Structure 1
Amino acid sequence: MDRVDRRGFLKVAGIAGLGALAACSTTGTPVPPPPSTSSVSSGPPDWAALRSRMSGQLVLAGEDGFAYQGFNPVWDAQKPAAIAKVTSAADVQACVSAVRGRVALAARSGGHSYAGYSSPSGGLQVDVRGLADVEVLPGDQVRVGSGAALSAVSKALLASGRCLPTGTCPSVGVAGLTLGGGIGVLSRKYGLTCDHLVSAQVVTADGQLRTASAAEEPDLFWALRGGGGGNFGIVTEFVFATLPAPDVTVFSLSYPAGAATDALGAWQTWIAQAPPELWSNVVVRGGAQPSAKIGGCFVGGVGALASLLNSLPAPESRFIQPQTYAEAVQYFAGGPIARESAVASSRVARDPLSSPEKAVDLLAGQSDETYLIFDGLRGAVADVAPDATAFPHRTALANVQIYLKTPPEAADDARTKLAAIRDGLGALTGDTGYVNYIDPQMPRWAEAYYGGNLPRLHTAAAKYDPDRVFGFAQSVTPDQ
């Protein structure tokens, strides 16, 4: 989205070939809803009637112009029956009204879903990329269409000297990133992307277009800030509060094979004590003897950052450079974006790991395209109470992305390896995870992603989607 995305960090840290999936649109492949006496219908959709109601384009499988392509080729075989290329909120309303209860229904923004959930097999994909306008408003706010990519948001804001804390991958959609929380290089200083959400326009399961904010539909507004993409409705527009774009200093430290345990152990103690102006991650890379990179972003000058970095073990190489925020956006984005085949998961470390060596050992002997990516949290993220929004991991030390690059034909074998690493790491962190790195095989996934906020999310689902119109294999269900 999601991710947030570590693709840029891995590239600038010198780990080539990893176009990591980002915090992303995690909309889902629905499962059949339960029987109901509500307005949910059965039988095949009337595609001709839907097409006549849309200002955008409806394309059925087999027709000219039908082309599904998400970011991850692993999911290329998972195709919808139709794609609605919407151009208005009214188009989204027409889609929901036409197919609810009849076929699977999911939104597609950036297309980076780790589980391919934005392409519902045999269902309707609501492609919101036609809703991509970005309007900088007077004062400190910006109006963003739900189909906008992070690159477009950054470009528009930087032209006005503003910024929004987001992830780094340019092609990730703002929708999935925000709805799952939104971790990025400014998180420890300014908080998550969802912490800057002022309001959202949402088409809910009954086909209504609602405004969700602190004053209107507050339960929905709460759930949208960390409750995961694909749940509760389809967002058509966001309004965010923005910040003056800061000057920053970026850095990257390289540690050789065999030094990963020392780097990770020192980093987790260091980041726990660092000022909120410093955001950092550590990337552990597989191999006979895993290696590591520590990188990050400091809202401040070279001198102050260099003093902080001196507390870490001496690296094999070190890069430090002051940049404008516009330059930093390009730095973390890296080079051209290419599709990449991979499987991924996550854990969330509430505190420093009791045994960083055990975490590193999980990658010993693995492919050198296997990664553990520890992203620092706390700081401003922890200034918000864990139950103030749906994002539960407010006081955690770090989010850990587990990423295995694999060709599509080897995905099943890669998932077996992924599960062993995920569960081994889970023995150190507990049953935790980040919903923007959604994993179809995650054990106890609902508790892992939502923690103590799960009961309230069940209640929100019961209120806004009682018939599971937007249901999918890992959707938030109504309270039962």
Structure 2
Amino acid sequence: MFSRRSFLRAAGVGAAATAVSCSVGGQQEAAPPSTTAPSAAPVPTRPAAVPPDFDGLRKRLGGALRQPGDEGFDKARQSYNPLYDQRKPAAVALCTTSDHVQACVALARDSYLPIAARSGGHSYAGYSAPEGGLIVDLRGMSAVDVRPDGTAVIGAGARLIDVYTALAAAGRCLPAGTCPTVGIAGLTLGGGLGVLTRKYGLTCDRLVSAQVITADSVVRTATPNNETDLFWALRGGGGGNFGIVTSFTFSTEPAPAVTVFQLSFPEGAAAAVVGAWQEWTVNAPDDLWSTVVITGGPTPTARLSGCFIGPQTALNPLLDRFIVNTGKPSNRFVQQKSYLDAMRYFAGCAQRANCTPDSLPRSTFAASSRIITDPIAEPGALVDMIDGRTDMDLLLDSLGGAVSRVDPSATAFPHRKALGTIQIYQKTTVDKQEAATRSVAQVRDALGRLGAGGGYVNYIETAMPDWGIAYYGPNLSRLDSVARRYDPDAVFSFAQSIHRA
């Protein structure tokens, strides 16, 4: 008998594949053969694969299955990033119920077919578009129900701008990402960074329970008191490793007033801005979140932006303290907004009358990440590495605050004590993909030499060195055990899955 992985290799089928530049939007997040993921144990013998019964699945879905040649298939298979438009899945299942998802998992398990869940389709590595596989599209499961006790039940297919709009209508908020089309599922499963994290924690820190379809097609409810290992793993263990989540329940907070800000600095100030930011963010109150964006080119430039939970009068002294070490910015913008208007501002929707996921454009990019555990001793070297790299940004996002007060082993997200993250983001075109990927890798490795190691799984990259340790750190071994328990036959196996049979 073949193992599932052996079968897929023999058939010439690519591994399954979702995720987040904006951030992450799918549930499953290829890599070089050498990684530090746990070595694979022998896979139990499985029955021989059966041909996938797509006609039967189509009936189970009430006709909502798209295959090559069907009307709407080409649109349905698209990811957020056009770099992956060449991927050809065998089918896209447009699911609206848990029963639909169960049927998809059963078909994939019995036929050894690659399977990937998709909510926003933002996988940086394109893992939500498995070649020759089954895409489980969850965007028909996107309801947001805010309950009287302040908890919010959110379908796995909901995207962030719709989540924020529904929460704000009820006077509530949830710490999450900024890109409006990112899916709540991929974001949460990888941890969930955003502009309110220092105040309210990661998105996964607000998770109360999750409904999950595991590899045996069973619906499980993971909570702090039920399926506890699974609940632990879902909070930062990355998408696509343990099953397909169909619904999340979160605790929320009263929606606050938010003051947004941006300081733009003249050419030549970038190194001073990075150096000042590292010291400033370490000593900042939890109410303050910030990011420094270094834009490459002939002379790299820098801007500081972020938000403050509170009035403008309380923020301005903090900004004044920052510019003591940088010099006067060339532009200073500070404005108090409602919670929803602040989220629209960060989403780039402030000037858009229509800011719905389907109305917004896609983006073509290559990306990776590093983690700033300790301050970078040579800010000038960081700036120099993108000198001349047109259309590349380094985004330094602050952590700390509420994130740091959770033990690194309490959830699967390991980077609790880090100062911040660095996202390497290269705009590109399909015909320049190879050069863009190479440029990103060069900067990623250079950052490693400056002491910024590791990586954020929601910015997953196919060529990340030692990806298992980079993304999961000391939590990798436990995650591997959870994956093997809930998916012993590696139904959800893909190139960077934790359980790589």
2-side partners of 1:47 and 1:429: how far apart?
Answer: 50
Matched, 1:321 2:322: no
Matched, 1:421 2:421: no
C-alpha change, 1:2 and 1:57, in structure 2 (3 Å) is closer
On the 8 A contact 2:161/2:344 being kept in 1, the answer is no
Q: 1:213 aligns with which of 199, 203, 223?
A: 223
Aligned to 1:16: none
Q: Which moved more, 1:140-149 or 1:21-30?
A: 21-30
Partner SS state of residue 130, structure 1: coil
Which AA in structure 2 matches 1:322? Q
Aligned to 1:361: 384
Partner SS state of residue 471, structure 1: coil
1-side partners of 2:63 and 2:417: how far apart?
Answer: 43
C-alpha change, 1:56 and 1:230, in structure 2 (3 Å) is farther
CA displacement at 1:26 relative to structure 2: 4.6
Which AA in structure 1 matches 2:88? K
Aligned to 1:438: 460
Q: 1:288 aligns with which of 274, 290, 298?
A: 298
Q: 2:197 aligns with which of 174, 187, 199?
A: 187
Partner SS state of residue 394, structure 2: strand
Aligned to 1:348: 371
On the 8 A contact 1:2/1:177 being kept in 2, the answer is yes
2-side partners of 1:222 and 1:340: how far apart?
Answer: 33
On the 8 A contact 1:189/1:276 being kept in 2, the answer is yes
On the 8 A contact 2:27/2:119 being kept in 1, the answer is no
- TM score, norm. by length of structure 1: 0.93
On the 8 A contact 2:19/2:127 being kept in 1, the answer is no
CA displacement at 1:180 relative to structure 2: 0.3
Count of equivalent residues: 461
2-side partners of 1:226 and 1:284: how far apart?
Answer: 27
1:9-20 to structure 2, matched below 5 A, reads 20=21
Matched, 1:399 2:408: no
Please report the RMSD computed on the Cα atoms of aligned residues, expressed in angstroms: 1.9
Which AA in structure 2 matches 1:311? R
1-side partners of 2:472 and 2:186: how far apart?
Answer: 16
Matched, 1:256 2:256: no
1:22-421 to structure 2, matched below 5 A, reads 22-28=23-29, 36-38=44-46, 41-55=48-62, 57-67=64-74, 68-100=77-109, 102-312=112-322, 313=326, 314-335=328-349, 337-367=360-390, 369-421=391-443
Which AA in structure 2 matches 1:358? A
Q: Which moved more, 1:248-257 or 1:61-70?
A: 61-70
CA displacement at 1:418 relative to structure 2: 0.7
Which AA in structure 1 matches 2:53? D
On the 8 A contact 2:288/2:307 being kept in 1, the answer is yes
Partner SS state of residue 52, structure 1: helix
Aligned to 2:481: 459
2-side partners of 1:410 and 1:376: how far apart?
Answer: 31
2-side partners of 1:123 and 1:473: how far apart?
Answer: 13
On the 8 A contact 1:109/1:128 being kept in 2, the answer is yes
Aligned to 1:477: 499
Provide structure 1 residue ranges, at least 5 long, that are not aligned to the other structure. Answer: 4-19
On the 8 A contact 2:90/2:134 being kept in 1, the answer is yes
Partner SS state of residue 83, structure 2: helix
Which AA in structure 1 matches 2:340? A
Which AA in structure 1 matches 2:44? S
Which AA in structure 2 matches 1:22? S
CA displacement at 1:330 relative to structure 2: 1.4
Aligned to 1:13: none
CA displacement at 1:28 relative to structure 2: 4.5
On the 8 A contact 1:150/1:171 being kept in 2, the answer is yes
Which AA in structure 2 matches 1:415? T
Runs of 4+ more than 6 Å apart: 29-34
CA displacement at 1:233 relative to structure 2: 0.2
On the 8 A contact 1:227/1:391 being kept in 2, the answer is yes
Aligned to 1:6: none
CA displacement at 1:287 relative to structure 2: 1.1
Give aligned-pair identity as a percent. Answer: 52
Aligned to 2:14: none
On the 8 A contact 1:28/1:471 being kept in 2, the answer is no
Provide structure 2 residue ranges, at least 5 long, that are not aligned to the other structure. Answer: 1-17, 34-39, 350-354
